[in-house]
Amino acid sequence: MGKVGIIGVGQSAFVRQYPGSIRELAFEGFKNAMKDAQITVKDVDASVVCSAPEYDKQRSPAGVFAEYLGLNPQPTFYVESLCSSSSMGLRLAYSLVKSGLHDVVAVIGFQKMSEISSSESQERMGRGADIQWESPFGTMMPAYYAMYARAHMAAYGTTPEDLARIRVKSATYGQLNELAVYRKPVTFEMFADPNDRMAGPVASPLRVGDCCANADGSSCIIVASEEKARALSQKPVWILGLGAASTSVNLAGRNLFTGLTVAQEAAKQAYAMAGIEPKDIDVAEVHDCFTIAELMAYENLGFAAPGEGKDLIRSKETYKEGRIPVNVDGGLLSKGHPIGATGGSQIRTIVLQLRGEAGAIQVKDPEIGLVHNIGGVGLYGNVTILGR
């Protein structure tokens, strides 16, 4: 079979509280992707709906969306791998197209997290860990990533100031992203001021400014066979490499706490499939649910050696003008994190970059981009490599 391309991308604004239903929220991203691809629902052979369950009351949202979006009687699939759901959905869509079963597939990611309270949301996230041996004892997402931060600091001399630098970078670009939740500037001095909200403790050494926030949002990626992509799109972006991995759900079953093995393994697979090396990546989107997660991603993806990720942010090499621009759309730290929609939003950013349509955050002449999307506390890892 031929190559598989992306011919349309869309995203809703990420907001703290979306006023409509989940089907209306999904429509926001879908309509933008369909407009971008300049196709109609008759062109879509199948759909893949991606989210983390238990944030709303709807059972089997894929069927509901297929009806609402006018995609009946085409088949629809539901994919869940926590925060990496829509990257995993892209992997499924790629497989459906590559196999010849379908020519055009819509990957729709969504999450309406405001349907439940903040405390309920934290409890749901905790269930992403082992519900028998871990989450009943109160471990939540910030605490898990704080353990990784502690380990990284102990092993490599990473400091809270290094993490603050990542949030400052995020805010630099988040201000330019009209679809982001947080568009206010963040300065390094805020973290040094004990009275500033950014410096407020969450799970030591992580502070408020080190953590992304829940959000409501949707995203959509339109995937097509090479024949369809060339016929329907003026600027198809090609899927060059895909990597995916999993690991022990219990942290007690892991042997690395200064990085995520799923990211390392998924990156290895994606680089091999694409036939490239880390140095060939021109722009990247990484899963910065916490500042330490971005720092570890630098190292897990091969942009820096273990322990040297802090040097990249200190020298501003991950800024738009640097050697390897990372999260120049503000990342999760600025955009917010509507779990099922996050991977699709990351993919959208890289597609726009490769098409030269990223506006104020456009990197100069990128040819190859990478998306790193993690589910849970390093339970699932997905790495996607795209090329123009």
List residues with catalytic annotation.
Answer: 83, 337
Measured CA to CA, the distance from residue 4 to residue 359 in angstroms comes to 26
154, burial (CB in 10 Å: exposed 0-12, middle 13-18, buried 19+): exposed
E-only strand ranges, 73-205: 76-79, 104-112, 201-203
For β-strands 216-225 and 368-375, DSSP reports them as unpaired
Starting at the earlier edge strand, list the strands of the sheet with 4-11: 76-79, 46-50, 104-112, 216-225, 4-11, 237-246, 380-387, 368-375, 283-285
Measured CA to CA, the distance from residue 54 to residue 58 in angstroms comes to 8
| Cα distances (angstroms) measured from residue 228 to each of 3, 44, 103, 223 | 10, 11, 7, 9
3-state secondary structure of 252: helix
Measured CA to CA, the distance from residue 67 to residue 71 in angstroms comes to 6
CB 350 within 8 A of CB 365: no
> DSSP states of 358-375 as a string?
-GGG--SS--EEEEEEEE
- The CB density around residue 1, as the number of other CB atoms within 10 Å, is 10
* Structure-block tokens of residue 11: 């995203």
Cis status, amide bond into 73, omega within 30 of 0: yes
Measured CA to CA, the distance from residue 182 to residue 278 in angstroms comes to 30
Cis status, amide bond into 194, omega within 30 of 0: no
Count the residues in the chain: 388
Find the helix packing angle between 141-156 and 118-126, rounded to 10°. Answer: 60
CB 312 within 8 A of CB 298: yes
